[in-house]
Each structure stands twice: as structure tokens, then as C-alpha cells.
Homo-oligomer: A and B are copies of this chain.
Amino acid sequence: MDVFVLFSGGKDSSLSAILLEPFFDVTLVTCNFGFAETWETAEAVASELGFPHRVLSIDGAILESASNMAVDDGYPNRAINHLHACALKCVVSGHAIIADGTRRDDRVPMLNLPDVQRLEDTKECTYIRPLLGYGRRAVDALVDIHLEIEENESEKIEKSDYEVELRAIIEARHGHEMVRTIFPGQHLQSRVIGRRLFCV
């Protein structure tokens, strides 16, 4: 069975793909809204992990409206959730089984159960969140075993998640101070730089 995993190059979506690998034919998919070329990091990490990778272009109007949400709210969570929900709908249009790196303790991006069921029912698809039953301790243990990562503050790390393009468009439309207001600087982000060999 093919599964298409929404992929940012971060440890959660990487680990999610690794958990699916023994049971599915995994392809990683990075969404891009056409504002900044943010997929390159994900492409490089996908290659390190050994998975095929695709970039999916999504209507830039979605990023514009997410940018407006973040500025209106002074906070990025609703905007990031909106981008994730739109990305899921776009990926699933061509594929029967999709997945992402959402985990138990995440606040965003996170679809609630009714929205998950609506996505599956309206699109006749299967949406899997392999890490939803894993808390921070379990994820950290598996990451230590399977991945080499680097951690840094959001602004300094090269990633391909929604936040990178969202920051870029907010900076272009409203300036750097607005970006600093909306995104707390101390938030640690991770990027995968390699995969460790593993035998159970």
C-alpha cells in the first residue's frame, strides 16, 4: 500500500515515515505555497532518510489568508492549523492514504476528531497519524535511536514547514517586527541531518 506523508524535514514527520516504512510504500510530500522556495531542506533530508520525495504546489491565496489570520490574532496557531488542513486536503486529492507527523502532545498543527472524520468521509481517504499515540518521552527515545538531529531556535534553522513560508510572507507584507511579535523566538525547532542504522 502506498502512503504519502506530509514532510517538513523535522524529526516528527521523519519519525512518522520511519514508523510506517515496514508496512507501507512511503513517499514524502512537502507542500509549497509559491511564496518562498522552502522545500529544499525537506528534499535533502528525504534523501538522507532514503525516501522518495515530491513537492506539491498549493494555491498561494491560502498562504495570504493564513498570513492575515496570524496578523489579526497576533499569534500563529490558527494560521498554521489552517495551512495544515488545506495541505491535507490537497495531498489527499490524488492519494488514498495520507499521513503526517502529528503527535500526542502537539497543539498545532492538530485536527480535532470531527475534522479528521470529515476529511476521511468527504475525500474517501485514509488519514494516519502514526505518532498520535506517542508522547514526548516515547518520541525522544525513538528519535535518539533512529535520527541524527540538530536543534536551534525557529529563526535560525533551515526547515520546510508551514512556519517558514508564513514567516516569509508576514515579513514581506508587515516587516520583521511583526514576525517577532507573532512567533516567540525561544521556540526550539529541530532538523534532521541523518539517519542511524538500526536493528531490533
Q: Which residues of A contact B (CB under 8 A)?
A: 1, 19, 21-25, 97, 102, 104, 113, 116-117, 120, 126-135, 137-138, 141-142, 145, 198, 200
**Copies of this chain held together in the complex:** 2
List B contacts of A116 (CB < 8 A).
104, 135
B142 touches A23 (CB 8 A): yes
**Across the A-B interface, the 10 shortest Cβ-Cβ residue pairs:** A129-B133, A132-B133, A22-B22, A132-B132, A126-B137, A126-B138, A128-B138, A130-B133, A128-B134, A128-B133
List B contacts of A126 (CB < 8 A).
135, 137-138, 141
List B contacts of A141 (CB < 8 A).
1, 97, 126
A-B contact pairs, 26 of them (CB 8 A): A1-B141, A1-B145, A21-B200, A22-B22, A22-B200, A23-B142, A23-B145, A23-B198, A25-B200, A97-B138, A102-B133, A104-B113, A116-B135, A120-B135, A126-B137, A126-B138, A126-B141, A127-B135, A128-B134, A128-B135, A128-B138, A129-B132, A129-B134, A130-B133, A131-B133, A132-B133
List B contacts of A24 (CB < 8 A).
200
Other 18 A-B pairs with CB < 8 A, given A1-B145, A22-B22, A126-B138: A19-B19, A19-B23, A22-B200, A23-B145, A23-B198, A24-B200, A25-B200, A104-B113, A104-B116, A104-B132, A117-B135, A126-B135, A128-B134, A128-B135, A128-B138, A129-B133, A130-B133, A133-B133
